Structure 1
Amino acid sequence: MTDAKVVHLNKVAPEHSPNSPVGRLPVALINLRDRAAQQLKQALQALFDNADDTLFEMADRATSNAEQSGFFEAMRDLRLKRKNIERGFLQKIFESFSTLNQYEIGRVPQLGTLSFDSLALIQNDELEERVALDSMVAKVMSRDGVAVSHLTTRLNALVSKKLDDKSNPLGPMSLCGLFLEACGGLGVEIRVKLIILKLFEKYVLSDLDQLYGEANQALVAAGVLPELKSAPAPRRPGAQHAGGRAGQGGAAVLAGVAGYADEGMQEVFGALQALLSEVRGAGMPRRELPADAVPISSNDLMRLLSHLQQRLPTQAAADFDLHHQLEQLLGRASAKSGRARVVGEVDEDVINLVSMLFEFILDDRSLPDSLKALIGRLQIPMLKVAVLDKTFFGRGSHPARRLLNEIASAALGWGEQDDTQRDSLYQKIEQVVQRLLNDFVDDPGIFSELLADFLAFTGAERRRSELLEQRTRDAEEGRARAELARRQVEQALNERLLGKTLPEVVVRLLQEAWSKVLMLTCLKHGTDSAEWQAALATMDDLVWSVEPHEDPEARLRLLELVPGLLKALREGMASAAFDPFSTSEFFSRLEALHVQAFQRFKRQLSEAEQPEAAVEIVAEAAGAAPEAPLLELPPVEEVAVAVELPAMIAVVEEIVLLAPGESRLAEPEVCLADDDEALLQVDNLRVGSWVEFQEDEEHKLRCKLAALIKPTGKYVFVNRTGMKVLEKTRMGLAVEFRHGAIRLLDDALLFDRALESVIGNLRRLKGA
C-alpha cells in the first residue's frame, strides 16, 4: 500500500495549523524534545542576561542623542518582552515537534538562499536580516552538518512527516526562523535586530554541536538507527536505487533512509512471524492441516472477513470468536468444493497477531469498559488492513494504527458514569466504528479520511477543555495567592493583638475592616512593599492611640497622630470598598475613644492648657462639619459619670480569617516518612497524568492532574472537559496510593503497548 490515498489534514480541517490535534509522539522523541528545550531555554536566558550590557555599550558609543535613545528604548523594550519571547520561542519548538506526525508537511520558515531575481522585491531591512540569517545557518551547517543530517535521518525513522535539514525542528534554519517569529513583537530598528541575532548566534547557535551530539546519542540509545555512524546515509541491500534516484547531497540521504524505513517496517512483521513459528507447539497450538488442504488467497480471505464484518454489529465484540467463525465459513467452502480450504500461513500469522493485539486491548485497564466494547468491534477492520499491508505492524504513522491510538487516547478520560446516549465522544467513536463496519471493503484510504475527521473533532474538544482547564488553573492560583495573603494578614494581626486587652470596637475594626485593606495591599503590592509597611504602621498607630498612656509627652504625640491616622484609616477602608454605613459607625465610636483619651490627660493640665484644641482636632479628623459646635469636655469630676467606659475585649485566641464559604476544619492527616513509597509515587506524578480514583465499590473517577499549586501544596484534578473535580494534598494522595484507591492510567500509545505486550509474551513462550 502507498500513501497515495492519504487525505491531507490541511484539506479536511484547515484550522489544524498550528494548534492541530496531532498524533502522539514516541517516548524517545518526547524525551529528546524536552532535553533540547531545556538546553535552548538556558541558552536563551544567557542571551537576554547579556543583551543589556551589549546594548548599553552600543549606546555608550552612539554618535548622536537620537541613536543613543534608540538603544536605550531597545533595552527597555527587550526587558519588557523578554519573558514573552522566551515563552514564545519554546512554545514554537514544542509546536514544531507536535506536528511531526501529521501527513502534510507544514511550512517551515523560509530562510533559503537568496536569488538575484528576488532581490528587487525585498526591502533593504528585510534583505539585511535574511543575509544575516543565511550566514548564521551556513556557519552551523559547515560545522555540524553531519550531526544535523544524522539527526534528521533518525527523526524520519520515527515520524510520518518527511523532514529535511531545513525542516528539522532542531535544525539551525528552523531555530533561527522560530526565534525571529518569537521576536516579531519587538518594536526595534534593523540595527538592533541584527545585534539581537548576533547574540542568538553567540549564545544559542554556538552550542548546537553539544545539542546535536546528545540528541543523536539519545536516539541511538533508544535503538533508532544505531548503524548510522560516519556514513552520510545507511547503505542497505535493495535500498541503493533510492539513493541513485535522489541525485545529490542531502536528498540522497533522505531517499536512502526512506528505503531503509520501508524495509524496516517489513522486517517487523518478519520478526513477528519468526517468533510465532518458534513458539508453535510450545505455548501455541501447532496447525494440523489435512494432506489435501488448499490455502485460500488473501482476496478470498478478505471476502470472508467482509462477510463476518457485516454480521459483527449485531453481536458483542468480546464474545465474537474470529477463529471459530472463520473455520465455520471455511468448512462450508470445503464442503462445496470437496477439498479442504484453509487460511494461508502468512495470513494465519496476521490473524493470530491481530487477535493477540485485541486480547491485550480488551484486557487493558486504562480503557473504560463501555468503550472497550466499541473498540473491540474494530478487530475485523484492523485485521483486513493488516492482511492488505504488512507494514501495519511496523509503521507507527499508519493511518489505521493512528486512528486506533487516537480513539484510545481520547477515551482515556471518559468515565463510566458518562451518559453514552448524550456524550459526544462516545457518539463520535461509535460513528467511526459503524462507518468502518459498513463501508470498509478493501480501500484503506477510509482510515485516513476517518483519522482526519476524528482529529478535527478531538482537536475542537481539546481546545475547549484546555481553555476551561486554564481557567481552572488561573482560578486555583488566584485562590492560592489569596490564601497566602490571608495567612500573612492573620500573622500580622496576631502579632499585634494576641494577648492584649483593647476596646472591642478597635478589635472589630482591625479584624473585620482593616484585614481587608491589608489583604488587598498584600495581593497588589506584596509584603516587601512600602504600601504594606504603611498599612501595618497605620494598624500600629491605631492600637497605640487607644491604649492607656500616662506620659505627658504621649498627649503631644496623640495630638499629632490622630488627624493622619483617621485620614489613613478612612482612605484605606474606602480603597477596600468597605461598607460606608459600618465605616461611619466605626469612626463615631473611635472618635469617642480618642475624646476619652484626651479627657484622661485633662487632670494633668493647668487651667491655661484646656484641651479644646485637641477635641477640635479629633472632631475635624473624624469628619465633623466645620459649622458643627465643638465637643465640650465636662469637668474632671464628672468624667467618670458622663462618659461611658468603652467595652473592652481580651484577645486570647488566635485570629483566623476565613474566605467566604470556607470552614477551616483541619482534616486528620496521616504523616508518612519522607522516603515512604506512596509519597514517592505522588512526587512522580506529572501535570497531565491521568489517574483513576476508586470512590466506592461501584464508582470510579477518572481525572487528570491539571496543576500543582505550590503555595498551598494542593494537587488540582480536572475531568476531560477541563472542569475541576477534585483537590488533594500531597499527604492525602499518598494515603490514597497506600490504600490502593488510586492508580495511574497508562497514556502511552495503545497499539504500541499492545504490540510490546505481544512481543514480550511470544519471547516468554519461546524461552519456556
Structure 2
Amino acid sequence: MSGYPHGVAQATRTDPLRVLEEIKRQSLEALGGLPGTLYGPVEDALKLAVLKGDGKTNHYEEQAALWVLRQHQAAHVMRFRQQVAQAFDDFRALRIRSGGEVTLRLVDEQQLEYELASGRLNESLVARFARPLDTLQGRLQNLCEAMRVPMGANPIGPERLVAAFAQTLLDAQVSDSLRGRLFRHYETELIRVLGELYARINTLLATSGYGGAVAPPQPRPPQEDIRRGFGDGMPSPQGFGGFEGFGAPSPGPASAAGAGNFGRTLSTPMSQQEIAAMASELAQLRTQLHAWRETVPRSDASPASGGMSGADRAVMQRRELRVDEILSVASLLQAEPPDAFARALAVSGRLGETIRDHLQDGARRLGLNPDQACFSPEEEDAIDLVALLFDSLFRHNALQDRARRLYARLVLPYVKVALTDNAVFVKREHPARRLLDAITEACEGNDGETPQDRELLDRATEISQRIVADYNEDLAVFELAHAELDALLAQQRRRFELQEQRAAKATYGRERLGAARSQAETALHERLGDSSLTQAVAEFLAMPWRHHVVQTLLRDNADPRRHAEAIALGDALLMADRLAQQNRGRELADQLLALQPAIIECLASSGLDDSAAQHGMAGLVRALIDPDTSRRVRPVPPIAVPEDDAGEGERRLWLAGGTDTIRHDALLAERMRELDVGDWVRLTNAEGETTAAKVAWVSPLTSRYLLVNRRGLRVLVASVEELAALAGSNRLSIGAERTAFDEAMRQVRRHLDRATGTR
C-alpha cells in the first residue's frame, strides 16, 4: 500500500481484494445490527395501536409473535450478517454464480409474501439512492476489472440488503400485518444508514484508485515532522489508522498481519490535520509517561525488565525483545486463567508489574533467556499505558467484583493491541476502544438483580472469552464483538431512558408532596397558633383538614378555587368553635349545616366512606353543642410521614442543608448552575467509590438536579449549593467524558501530571 495519508489522491491502486474486505468490514459494522434495532420501535407501535385500536385487529397475536422474534434476536442478527457477508463472497465469485438452466419449483405463500414486500421496498430504496448507487456501480465495475472477475450484483445494493432481511425472517411465523410493520421500520433504518454508508464507500473506492479519474500523486509530507510527533524511534504513520504500534515493524506485502490489520490501514479517510493532531496527542502522552516512569521505583529489577536505563542495558549487552516475540509470548499466555491480573486490579498500581512478570515467565517458556533480553522502551510504553488504563477504569467506574475477572481476561489482548496499534489510545473510533466502552457500559453499576442485567453481564462475559479465544492481531474480532454487544445495549438503553423518566417523575412527585405538606403545615400553625379550641376541632384541623389541604394542592393544583375552599373550611371551623363558646346556638346550627357538605368531603379525602364521614361529623357536632366543653391552646402535632417516604435509602440521596446557607464556594455554585440536562459528572460517595453520573432532570419547583448513573438509576438529588459543596470537598468533578475509555484516558493523563509535578 502507498504511504500517502488518507485523503490524498494516489496514482497507484490499492490491492482490490483488500479494498473489498474493507468495504465488507465497514458494511457489516454499519448494517450488521439492524434486525436487532427493529423490535423495540415495532413493540412501541403495537402498544400504541392497542390503545387506539377499534377491536377489529388482534394486536395481541402480533405482540406474542414479536415476543417470539425477540427471543431469537441474536440468531437473527447473526443470520443477517451471514447474508450480507455472503453477498460479498458472491461478488468475489467465491461461490459459483448460477447459470444455465434454472430449476423450477413451487413457492409457498409465505415466501411469496416476502418477495412481494421485498420488491416494494427495493423499488423505494433504488429510487431514493439512485445517484450514489450509479456512482457506486461504476466504481465496483472498476474493482471487478482489477480482480479479473465478472461484475456481480452490488453486495450492499438495496436488492441484496432487502433479500438478506427477507431471508433472515423467512422461517419465522409472522402475520401479514406484523411483516408490514417490520419492513416499514427496516426501510426507516436503511434510509438512516445507507446515505452515509454509500458516501463512505464511494470515497474509499475513489481514494483507493477506483474512481472515475485518478489525480496525480501529491508529494509526501516530511517524514521528520510526523516522526517528531511520536518521539524518537517511532515509525511514521501510513495514515493515523495505520500506526503499527510501539516499535512494531511497518507492514509490507509479506507482513503476517497483512489483511488482518487492513481495518486499521484503510479506515475512513482522515485529513492531514487530524493525523497530525492525533500524532501530537500520542507524542505528548508518551512524554508524560516517560517522565512518570522516572519517578516510579521498580521492584521488577530482573534482567528482562525494562525499568533499567539505556546505559545499564548497554553495559550488560542485552538485546531488546522484538514486538513479534512479545506477541508470541502474549498469545501463549492469553488463554490461561487471569487470576493474577484480577488480583492486581484490586490493588492500584500493581497491574503493570504483574503484566511484566507474566510476559517474562512466558518468554522463558518459549526459550527466550531473560538474562539476555529486555523490553524496549516502546514495549514498556504499551504495558504501562494498558496497566494505567485498566486501573483507571476500575477506580473511576462503579464496577462490581464479577467485572474484575472479566476485565482481567482482556488485559493481554489489549497489550497486544497496544503493541501493534497504538492508535487505540487516541483514536475514538478504534474498534478495541469501542468494545471496552460497551463492556464498561454493560458492567458499570450492574449487580445482576434483574434478568436484563444478568443477560448483559452474561453477554459481556461471553464476549470477553471470545476475544481471548479468537483475537490474533485481527481487529475484526473486536468489531464483531462490539456490534453484538451494542445491539443488546441498544435495547437496554431504552429501558434506562424509561428509568430516568420514572426517577424524574418520582422525584418531582416527592417535591410537590413536600411543598404541599409545608404549605399545609404553615396554614395549620396560623390557625391553631394562640387559639383556645375544643379538642375535637383541634384534632379535626390537625389531621383530616391538614391532609385535605395537602390533597387539594396535589390534585387540584391548577384550580386555586379548590384550595381556597379548603382553607375557608378551616377558618369556618374556627368561627364555629367561637360561636359555641359564646353559646350562640342558632348561629352555630346554621354554620354547621352550611359546613356539612365540605366537612363530609374533607373526611372522605382521608379515605373514610360516607358512613364513617357521617359519624365523624356527628362527633364534631356533639363536641360543639356543649358551651362548657374545655378549651385550651393545642400544640401542632408532627405530621405522620409513611416509612417509604422517609426511608434510609431516600435520605441518603439528599445531602444535609439544601439551601444557600450551606457552606460552599459561590463561584463553584455558579459553575454548577451552568450544567445542562445530559451533562456528565464524576461523583464519589461517602465510601470513596467513584461513579459516572448524568444530569437527567432539573426540578422546575426547587431547581434541584437529579443525577442518575449509566443504568438510569437515581444517584443523587441536590441543589447547586450542595453540588458546589461536594465539588469543594473533591467529591464531585464536572466535565467528565461521555464514554468510559475517554474518561479513563483523561484520568491517566491527570495521574501522570500529578505524579511528575507538572500540575
TM-score, reference length from structure 2 = 0.51
SS at match of 1:694: coil
Which residue of 261, 264, 275 corresponds with 2:274?
261
Deviations 1:25-77 (A, max 9, x none): xxxxxxxxxxxxxxxxxxxxxxxxxxxxxxxxxxxxxxxxxxxxxxxxxxxxx
Query: How far apart in 1 are the matches of 2:269 and 2:725?
Result: 55
Is the 2:684–2:690 contact (alpha carbons within 8 Å) kept by the matching residues of 1?
Answer: yes
Deviations 1:643-678 (A, max 9, x none): x55644423313543333468999996899958347
Query: How far apart in 1 are the matches of 2:455 and 2:295?
Result: 46
Query: How far apart in 1 are the matches of 2:445 and 2:281?
Result: 32
**What residue number does 1:384 align with?**
416
**What residue number does 1:403 align with?**
435
Is the 2:668–2:724 contact (alpha carbons within 8 Å) kept by the matching residues of 1?
Answer: yes
Closer, same or farther: CA 455–743 of 1 in aligned 2, 3 Å? same
Deviations 1:728-763 (A, max 9, x none): 7888888888888x5669953454455456667489
Query: How far apart in 1 are the matches of 2:595 and 2:530?
Result: 23
How far did residue 445 of structure 1 move? 0.5
**What residue number does 2:574 align with?**
543
Query: How far apart in 1 are the matches of 2:593 and 2:660?
Result: 56
Q: What's the Cα RMSD here?
A: 5.6
Alignment-mate amino acid for residue 335 of structure 2: Q
Query: How far apart in 1 are the matches of 2:622 and 2:429?
Result: 82
Closer, same or farther: CA 299–736 of 1 in aligned 2, 3 Å? closer
The answer to whether residue 384 in structure 2 is matched with residue 355 in structure 1 is yes
Closer, same or farther: CA 304–5 of 1 in aligned 2, 3 Å? farther
Query: How far apart in 1 are the matches of 2:380 and 2:586?
Result: 99
**What residue number does 1:489 align with?**
520
Is the 1:516–1:576 contact (alpha carbons within 8 Å) kept by the matching residues of 2?
Answer: yes
Closer, same or farther: CA 557–668 of 1 in aligned 2, 3 Å? same
The answer to whether residue 651 in structure 2 is matched with residue 676 in structure 1 is no
**What residue number does 2:245 align with?**
none
Closer, same or farther: CA 342–729 of 1 in aligned 2, 3 Å? closer
User: Highest CA radius of gyration, 1 or 2?
Assistant: 1
Query: How far apart in 2 are the matches of 1:582 and 1:739?
Result: 55
Which residue of 486, 491, 498 corresponds with 1:455?
486
**What residue number does 2:596 align with?**
566
How far did residue 379 of structure 1 move? 2.8
Q: How does 1:312-351 map to 2 (within 5 A)?
A: 313=338, 315-317=340-342, 318=344, 321-327=354-360, 349-351=378-380
**What residue number does 1:582 align with?**
612
Is the 1:521–1:531 contact (alpha carbons within 8 Å) kept by the matching residues of 2?
Answer: yes
Query: How far apart in 1 are the matches of 2:433 and 2:220?
Result: 27
**What residue number does 1:694 align with?**
686
**What residue number does 2:74 align with?**
none
Alignment-mate amino acid for residue 336 of structure 2: R
Is the 2:432–2:478 contact (alpha carbons within 8 Å) kept by the matching residues of 1?
Answer: yes
Deviations 1:441-488 (A, max 9, x none): 121101111112222333444433432342233123212212211222
Closer, same or farther: CA 654–531 of 1 in aligned 2, 3 Å? same
The answer to whether residue 321 in structure 2 is matched with residue 286 in structure 1 is no
How far did residue 378 of structure 1 move? 2.1
**What residue number does 1:5 align with?**
25
Query: How far apart in 1 are the matches of 2:371 and 2:521?
Result: 91
SS at match of 2:683: strand
Between stretches 357-366 and 446-455, larger displacement belongs to 357-366
Q: How does 1:55-70 map to 2 (within 5 A)?
A: none
Query: How far apart in 2 are the matches of 1:480 and 1:382?
Result: 47
Query: How far apart in 1 are the matches of 2:656 and 2:371?
Result: 74
Query: How far apart in 2 are the matches of 1:374 and 1:677?
Result: 41
How far did residue 400 of structure 1 move? 0.6
**What residue number does 1:504 align with?**
535
Query: How far apart in 2 are the matches of 1:539 and 1:511?
Result: 10
Closer, same or farther: CA 682–409 of 1 in aligned 2, 3 Å? farther
Query: How far apart in 2 are the matches of 1:672 and 1:531?
Result: 31
Query: How far apart in 2 are the matches of 1:725 and 1:547?
Result: 52
Which residue of 508, 521, 526 corresponds with 2:552?
521
Closer, same or farther: CA 391–721 of 1 in aligned 2, 3 Å? closer
How far did residue 397 of structure 1 move? 1.0
Extract unaligned runs of 5+ from structure 2: 1-17, 42-122, 125-216, 223-237, 240-266, 297-306, 345-350
TM-score, reference length from structure 1 = 0.50
Alignment-mate amino acid for residue 476 of structure 1: T
Query: How far apart in 1 are the matches of 2:622 and 2:412?
Result: 89
Deviations 1:326-374 (A, max 9, x none): 45555676779x997777x6xx515523423423532552144734554
SS at match of 1:691: strand
**What residue number does 1:627 align with?**
none
Q: How does 1:18-37 map to 2 (within 5 A)?
A: none
Q: How does 1:100-499 map to 2 (within 5 A)?
A: 238=220, 258=271, 260-262=273-275, 264-266=277-279, 268-269=281-282, 285-287=308-310, 288=313, 298-311=323-336, 313=338, 315-317=340-342, 318=344, 321-327=354-360, 349-362=378-391, 365-367=395-397, 368=399, 370=401, 371-372=403-404, 374-414=406-446, 426-499=457-530
Is the 1:290–1:340 contact (alpha carbons within 8 Å) kept by the matching residues of 2?
Answer: no
Query: How far apart in 2 are the matches of 1:8 and 1:486?
Result: 55
Query: How far apart in 2 are the matches of 1:290 and 1:334?
Result: 23
Query: How far apart in 1 are the matches of 2:428 and 2:606?
Result: 59
Alignment-mate amino acid for residue 286 of structure 1: S
Deviations 1:98-156 (A, max 9, x none): xxxxxxxxxxxxxxxxxxxxxxx99xxxxxxxxxxxxxxxxxxxxxxxxxxxxxxxxxx
SS at match of 2:636: coil
Is the 1:404–1:751 contact (alpha carbons within 8 Å) kept by the matching residues of 2?
Answer: yes
Closer, same or farther: CA 238–269 of 1 in aligned 2, 3 Å? farther
How far did residue 274 of structure 1 move? 7.2
Closer, same or farther: CA 556–407 of 1 in aligned 2, 3 Å? same
SS at match of 1:654: coil
Alignment-mate amino acid for residue 402 of structure 1: R
**Percent identity between the two aligned chains:** 21
Closer, same or farther: CA 668–728 of 1 in aligned 2, 3 Å? closer
Extract unaligned runs of 5+ from structure 1: 21-120, 123-234, 243-253, 597-643
Alignment-mate amino acid for residue 650 of structure 1: R
